[in-house]
Amino acid sequence: MRRTLLPFLTLTVLLLPSSLLQAKEKDFPGIENLMSDAEYRAAGLDKLSPSERQALNQWLISYTVKDAQHLRSSSAELRQAEDKIRIEAQVKGAFKGWRGKTVFTLDNGQVWQQRLSGRFFYSGENRRVLIKKNLFGFYELTHVATGKTVGVSRKK
């Protein structure tokens, strides 16, 4: 399990921008917010005590500040893995934009929910969306036809 967890954690850390890396610890969202619930459980992190989770978060911050930028620019394997964190799909049913806590059910079976406030109204036919991690390690959904983007979190 350690062999599969370390590359995932390394990739997660590498997706954080330098501004976040230099932020105070209280600004770091924590590993529990960087992963979906399913990823968090699959990695076994739900079994950690609060103090163990805090230690992991402190290690991630420290590791990121010291080594992540070098690895990000030098590791072809990590660059390829980073490029794969991209989901292209269509919203099932009519796509009418988002209104605060909108749930997006995709044709690939995934379910995402709006995590940031904001409203966008759409009355066209195009239901294509692109989901990818932003520089802070959070997911964003972009409506392909309009280029409008909103923060989302995976529910299923």
pLDDT at 82: 57
pLDDT at 36: 80
pLDDT at 131: 93
d(CA 45, CA 57): 11
pLDDT at 24: 43
pTM, two decimals, is 0.49
CB 138 within 8 A of CB 151: yes
pLDDT at 21: 44
List Cβ neighbours of 109 (8 Å cut-off, separation of 6 or more): 156
Give me the average pLDDT of each 10-residue run along the chain (156 residues): 55 51 56 81 91 87 66 59 75 93 93 91 93 83 94 90
